[in-house]
Chain A
Amino acid sequence: NAGVTQTPKFQVLKTGQSMTLQCAQDMNHNSMYWYRQDPGMGLRLIYYSASEGTTDKGEVPNGYNVSRLNKREFSLRLESAAPSQTSVYFCASSQGRGGQETQYFGPGTRLLVL
């Protein structure tokens, strides 16, 4: 099993460009998450999907959209990238939706917005 995979690994964008970060999991998990990690701030939740067909905002959703394409895939879209979105983005999944669930993380996507 590959676990949680993310593409691309690195990306450089110019301000105003758009892009989609892809995430897939092969563990048959119900819940999926997108986080961003910034120095000194830990991980902050952008959006999550408790189950296929549902998505909800997290702590920092502005400037992002998500799509739960199916049970395996959860994508994050930046419609008009801004330098403030320079960050490392992590996708995660868990079997259930509760806070007690262990989350399994992908390797991350490093995004630089110029």
Chain B
Amino acid sequence: AQSVTQPDIHITVSEGASLELRCNYSYGATPYLFWYVQSPGQGLQLLLKYFSGDTLVQGIKGFEAEFKRSQSSFNLRKPSVHWSDAAEYFCAVAEGGYQKVTFGTGTKLQVIP
């Protein structure tokens, strides 16, 4: 069964600092991988997704993620964090032909001045 682990429950970074959020997945074949962001009181919004091809994926709001098959990881990065990036971030994995998407437990990002 597919699964997703986000080892960091809460991360605090200073505005302007770089950010990396970790995501590890368990799945037999090449998965479909997603990062979603949830602002306070809102639903989830897609940041980026990976299906195949280039392992470095660019998303919205200046985010990128890198798929590393050898490490079963899909970490999210941003070179310079803005205060508006404070939110909760969810990694998700899915199988292409099936409906089920498995979400991680989320990482809450706090941005300090």
Contacts and interface: CB of A to CB of B under 8 A. Distances in A.
A41 interface: yes
B99 A105 contact: no
A100 B99 contact: no
Contacts of B96: 98-100
Which of B36, B90, B97, B103 is most buried by chain A, counting CB atoms within 10 A of its CB? B103
B43 to A, nearest CB: 3
B22 to A, nearest CB: 15
Interface in B74-113: 90, 94-101, 103-106
Contact of B41 (A4, A50, A107): A107
A78 interface: no
Given A41-B105, A42-B106, A100-B32, A107 B42 contact: yes
Interface string A82-105: 000000001010000111101111
B99 A42 contact: no
B43 A106 contact: yes
B17 interface: no
Given A105-B45, A107-B43, A108-B43, A42 B90 contact: yes
Interface in B19-33: 32
A90 B99 contact: no
Nearest to B43: A105
Nearest to A103: B101
Nearest to B6: A42
Given A42-B90, A42-B106, A43-B90, A99 B101 contact: yes
Interface of A: 4, 31, 40-45, 48, 50, 56, 58-59, 90, 92, 97-100, 102-108
Given A43-B44, A92-B43, A99-B97, 9 more contacts: A40-B105, A42-B103, A42-B105, A99-B96, A99-B99, A100-B94, A102-B46, A103-B46, A108-B43
